């Protein structure tokens, strides 16, 4: 059986390839180029070059070395335009609306588990594998064994039918076990740090980077309790609900936190009071629903952001959205983020948070 492995140049995909080869599969590596790494480097004044090699090219070089070591072929595919059209444009549009998008989730939906799958099929793949920390059991998407690395949250928008030919070889392993295997095979990626930043774009000065695509529109920072101006923000897209750092509020810097945005008047609202007054909600509206489970469950748990603990929720189903109730209250649930549902270790599916409420009333400042 032939398996095409998405080789990212990281340790997880490297070990995925090792495990599959040891299981007797014919393994082919496929590297995705999804971003023009040279874009805006000079404009930003903050180049991403490292020893004259941009991070994405370094990842490719590492993938080449790993595949040579494992004696498997490596091919390369270019999805730069597709990534721009389906992921980055979505990211910018959501920011313009004052929401908090997760481009990694959309990258999995449109690129890794759609266009990449099509490319793998052209290579004659029976299966496609990635280095995600997740598991598939009898067609059911399950959390990865490593709670700290579980990535089912980021897979929540992948259509169920796309998972039929997917393998997650490292989903049954802890991260430290993955690194031990890479060290055993003396791979160049064994001690390579995990990637951070925006998917495929990498670590950059976020504010400088976005300034190339969204103009900075400075505006007032207003105390929501007094309705008085207390500072100036550098653009609403740079702030998230609950944020405390980087508000430039002088002596009050560590006391204030973001509670909302007014796009019409370009106002950033902050509070110096009790977080529970503004950051705690008790329900939300979730649309763009994607289900893995065949049955509708009325009670389960949900995550409203990655690495958040599970929250007990009740689901009320409507034609094109779900009302998610959590009367115990949850902090900083934010429009634009993903809400992902679980039944113990099973990932039931997820959607995108459209509206946040407290005691059945929409929080106007969100």
Model pLDDT for residues 185-214, shown as the tens digit of each residue: 999 999 998 876 565 565 556 677 788 888
**How confident is the model at residue 152, as a pLDDT?**
98
What pLDDT, on the 0 to 100 scale, is given for residue 47? 45
- pLDDT for position 195: 73
Give, in words, the CATH class of 2-184.
alpha beta
Higher pLDDT, 13 or 203: 13
In angstroms, the CA 315 to CA 327 distance is 12
Task: Give the orientation angle of helix 175-184 with respect to helix 11-22, to 10 degrees.
Answer: 70
Long-range contacts of 190-193 (CB under 8 A, 24+ apart): 190/11, 191/11, 192/9, 192/10, 192/11, 192/62
> Structure tokens of 184?
């055993």
- The mean pLDDT of the chain is 90
Give the pTM: 0.91
Q: Closest Cα partner for 159 from 109, 101, 90? A: 109
The whole-number pLDDT of residue 157 equals 97
Task: Give the pLDDT confidence score for residue 203 in this predicted structure.
Answer: 54
**Confidence check: pLDDT of 346 > 70:** yes
CATH topology of domain 215-276: SH3 type barrels. (2.30.30)
3-state DSSP assignment of residue 177: helix
Superfamily of domain 280-362: Translation factors (2.40.30.10)
Q: What is the mean pLDDT of residues 255-269?
A: 92
Q: What is the pLDDT of residues 305-315, one digit of tens each?
A: 998 999 999 99
Nearest-angstrom CA–CA distance, 231 and 295 = 50
Least Cα distance to 353 among 114, 113, 94 occurs for 94
Q: Exactly one of 54, 67, 199, 339 is catalytic; name it.
A: 199
Q: Is 199 a catalytic residue?
A: yes
Q: Give the percent of the chain with pLDDT over 70.
A: 90
Per-domain boundaries in the chain:
2-184, 215-276, 280-362
Q: What is the pLDDT of residue 114?
A: 96
How many Å apart are CA 350 and CA 366, to the nearest integer? 21
Residue 166: closest CA among 125, 128, 136: 128
Q: Which two tokens stand for residue 114?
A: 């759609």
pLDDT tier at 296, thresholds 50, 70, 90 = confident
**pLDDT, tens digit (0-9, with 9 covering 90-100), for 36-72:** 766 554 434 444 444 455 677 889 999 999 999 999 9
284 is annotated as an active-site residue:
no
From the candidates 54, 67, 107, 300, give the one annotated as an active-site residue: 107
Residue 42, beta-bridge partner list: none
């Amino acid at each position: 059986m032939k398996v095409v492995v998405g080789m990212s140049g990281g340790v997880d995909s490297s070990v995925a390839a090792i495990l599959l080869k040891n299981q007797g599969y014919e393994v082919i590596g496929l590297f995705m180029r999804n971003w023009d790494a040279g874009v805006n480097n000079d404009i930003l004044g903050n180049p991403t070059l490292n020893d004259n090699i941009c991070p994405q090219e370094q990842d490719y070089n590492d993938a080449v070395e790993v595949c040579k070591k494992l004696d498997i072929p490596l091919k390369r595919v270019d999805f730069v335009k597709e990534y721009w059209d389906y992921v980055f444009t979505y990211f910018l549009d959501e920011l313009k609306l004052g929401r908090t998008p997760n481009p990694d989730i959309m990258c999995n939906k449109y690129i890794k588990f759609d266009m990449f799958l099509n490319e793998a099929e052209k290579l004659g793949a029976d299966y496609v594998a990635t280095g995600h920390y997740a598991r598939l059991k009898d067609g059911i998407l399950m959390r990865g064994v490593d709670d700290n690395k579980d990535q089912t949250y980021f897979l929540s928008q992948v259509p169920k039918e796309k998972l039929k030919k997917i393998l997650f070889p490292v989903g049954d392993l802890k991260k430290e076990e993955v690194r031990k295997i890479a060290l055993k095979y003396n791979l160049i990626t064994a001690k390579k740090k995990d990637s951070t930043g925006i998917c495929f774009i990498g670590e950059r000065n976020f504010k400088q980077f976005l300034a190339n695509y969204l103009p900075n529109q400075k505006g007032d920072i207003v105390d929501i309790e007094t309705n008085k101006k207390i500072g100036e923000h550098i653009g609403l897209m740079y702030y998230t609900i609950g944020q405390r750092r980087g508000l430039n509020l002088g002596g009050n810097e560590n006391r204030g936190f973001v509670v909302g945005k007014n796009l019409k008047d370009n106002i950033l609202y902050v509070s110096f009071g009790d977080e529970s007054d503004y950051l705690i909600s008790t329900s939300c509206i979730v649309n763009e629903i994607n289900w893995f489970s065949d049955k509708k469950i009325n009670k389960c748990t949900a995550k409203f952001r990655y690495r958040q603990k599970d929250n007990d929720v009740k689901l009320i189903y409507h034609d094109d959205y779900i009302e998610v109730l959590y009367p115990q209250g949850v902090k900083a649930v934010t429009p634009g983020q993903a809400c992902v549902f679980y039944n113990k270790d099973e990932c039931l599916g997820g959607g995108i948070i459209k509206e946040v409420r407290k005691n059945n009333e929409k929080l106007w400042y969100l």
